[in-house]
Structure 1
């Protein structure tokens, strides 16, 4: 595979998707390669169907391990349908969430074990990991406040979890950053939106100078 794989991570309310939408045109100006953007859970027809099940507010009785397995299943299909083809065609692949999300949310948030969730996903991804992960960091309190303001009450099943759940997610992400410091780079997502985008852009350009002109 000759392409570049970048994932965006962060707790609920971090604004990573908004930042990605602002970053995309800037990145396209800096490279001759095609930039492909997708999301998890979802990103391909089968994975999107699984997404609806996972995030539905009508499935509150879903078992925690069932949830973790569904995320891994959606990820596998997304990998086969979208990520691997893009990488094999020498494209820049950006995924809004990847394995780290499952480790943080199901492993840490649901407390079913980060090691166990990592093992489930090792089977699903079969060795494919991002070349770079940008983590958009906000405190649980700030993230939830943003969601409540932006969504006007229409929150999905995970966003509706109590603050203790979101604190565990945040703490697990912090551990992942320390354990994968070469791959995961933190951006302070409590800054002004334009500064968040600027910081993320700078990280990408400097990490891949041969691909992005601004990294020279």
Structure 2
């Protein structure tokens, strides 16, 4: 027994001194040698470098009835944001993608007749799903500010209240289509239906041609949607001068803006961005 213990100790010492492959386990190395092979230990995969954290962008939607000034005010907001150093993606519904442009032509062309209210609702949802997947979400993921002329609320107001369909069902369809993406701020521009329709400078499209009662229901729908979630809406009286409207919108947008200067740059320069009026 003593001889065996001494032999084990002597073998361990000899192996430690004569080991020409430090760090290679003895058992798999010996097994490979008996097979006439050279044991190669598995390589450890290098740990992945932690990805730089990018802040999600900001999503702003402009809503309202016909002739309320959504396109003008969304454009002015985008220009103001770009002037202050933000990456801004301006977009609209329907028709922001190639597929969307085809759907827009179908949905707004007065020659499109016989389209059921449910079919109309689903076509808008299809356009929106493509819009979110290919325009809005990629822009938000890289930290851009997305300014959209119309979003889900338009379907709830037009196809829900206007067409007198179940608003909750339309909301559920659109929640699935957009994967639950909700704007950080929705600017609702309000103007009486008659005033807005009289502002139109081009021939009325299929929806604009609907009777006054339809547009009154749409406006009531927008107001009810905004009152249900006041924390993420700005309701604007769009009958006022354009500059007053622009300033009110800018004041509200300031509250949700991210810092346009990366934190690392601030650490180096010890400066902070200043948001000023233009």
Q: So what's the TM-score if we normalise by structure 1?
A: 0.93
Q: Give the whole-Å Cα distance in 2 for the aligned partners of 1:57 and 1:213.
A: 48
Provide, for residues 64-112 of structure 1, a one-character-per-residue CA deviation record: whole Å limited to 9, x for no partner: 1100000000000000110011011110011111000000000000001
Change (3 A) 1:61 1:87: same
Tell which deviates more after alignment, 198-207 or 171-180: 198-207
The answer to whether structure 1 residue 26 and structure 2 residue 87 are counterparts is no
- Aligned mate of 2:205, from 132, 136, 156: 156
Q: Report what 2:187 is aligned to.
A: 134
Structure 1 segments, 4+ long, off by >4 Å, are none
Query: Does the 8 Å contact 2:78/2:147 carry over to 1?
Result: no
Q: Give the whole-Å Cα distance in 2 for the aligned partners of 1:189 and 1:60.
A: 32
Q: Report what 1:61 is aligned to.
A: 114
Query: Does the 8 Å contact 2:68/2:191 carry over to 1?
Result: yes
Q: CA RMSD in A?
A: 1.5
Change (3 A) 1:210 1:25: same
**Count of paired positions:** 210
Q: Give the whole-Å Cα distance in 2 for the aligned partners of 1:88 and 1:96.
A: 20
Answer with 1 or 2: which has the greater Rg.
2
Q: Report what 1:112 is aligned to.
A: 165
Change (3 A) 1:50 1:213: farther
Q: How far 1:209 moved relative to its partner?
A: 5.9
Instruction: Specify the SS of the correspondent of 1:195.
Output: helix
Instruction: Specify the SS of the correspondent of 2:275.
Output: helix
Q: How far 1:21 moved relative to its partner?
A: 2.0
Q: So what's the TM-score if we normalise by structure 2?
A: 0.73
Q: Higher RCO, 1 or 2 (CA under 8 Å, sep at least 6)? A: 1
Q: Give the whole-Å Cα distance in 2 for the aligned partners of 1:111 and 1:60.
A: 18
Q: Give the whole-Å Cα distance in 1 for the aligned partners of 2:232 and 2:77.
A: 19
Q: Which runs of 5+ in 2 are unaligned?
A: 1-54, 261-272
Instruction: Specify the SS of the correspondent of 1:182.
Output: helix
Change (3 A) 1:6 1:142: same
